[in-house]
């Protein structure tokens, strides 16, 4: 239930602080709800990818759980890229692994920031909007200016 309590995929809800404190039972209930409504249909409609491609997307730590006999599906749900592993179970396909693809895995130029509280994240978004930027563009500009100022004379 790590995907629900510690993961940041929006498909499980944007109430991150609540999710951080969920019991295992609460996380299972949340996952089951998301599974029925969102994840299962996305997996069924997802693109089939090769075993080696799945391993590359997931990185070494997660790839060790990939079963070469499995079928792999890549899909997006609520803006997050996932890989699902389907295996044969008495003649039917069953999902036995679900991974969030690490964002750094598909663009190493990207830096991700997690705010301590949702209110801080919302304040950043409001600031960006008030200044006429998308929030990621404002972040890029602020970090580029800071990097330039700190490395100017070096």
Q: Residue 109 has what pLDDT?
A: 65
pLDDT tens for the chain, residues 1 to 154: 788 988 878 889 888 889 999 999 999 999 999 998 999 999 999 999 999 999 999 988 899 999 999 999 999 898 888 999 999 888 888 999 999 998 755 555 667 777 888 899 899 999 999 999 988 899 999 999 999 999 987 6
Stated pTM of the model? 0.66
Beta strands in the chain (DSSP E): 47-49, 71-77, 80-89, 92-100
Beta strands across the sheet bearing 47-49: 47-49, 71-77, 80-89, 92-100
CA distance 22 to 144: 37
Q: What number of CA atoms fall less than 13 Å from residue 84's CA on the CB side?
A: 23
DSSP conformation letters of 93-116: EEEEEEEEPPGGGT-TT------S
Contact between residue 82 and residue 101 where contact means Cβ atoms under 8 Å apart = yes
């Amino acid at each position: 239930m790590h995907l629900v309590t510690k993961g940041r995929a929006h498909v499980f809800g944007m109430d991150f602080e609540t999710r951080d404190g969920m019991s295992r039972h609460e996380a299972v209930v949340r996952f089951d709800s998301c599974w029925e409504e969102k994840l299962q249909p996305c997996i069924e409609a997802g693109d089939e990818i090769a075993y080696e491609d799945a391993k590359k997307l997931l990185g070494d730590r997660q790839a060790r759980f990939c079963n070469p006999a499995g079928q792999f599906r890549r899909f997006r749900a609520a803006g997050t890229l996932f890989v699902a592993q389907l295996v044969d179970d008495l003649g039917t396909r069953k999902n036995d692994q679900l991974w969030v693809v690490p964002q750094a895995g598909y663009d190493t130029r990207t830096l991700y920031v997690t705010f301590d509280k949702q209110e801080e994240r919302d304040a950043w978004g409001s600031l960006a909007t008030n200044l006429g930027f998308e929030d990621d563009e404002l972040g890029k500009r602020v970090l580029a200016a800071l990097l330039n100022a700190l490395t100017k004379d070096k």
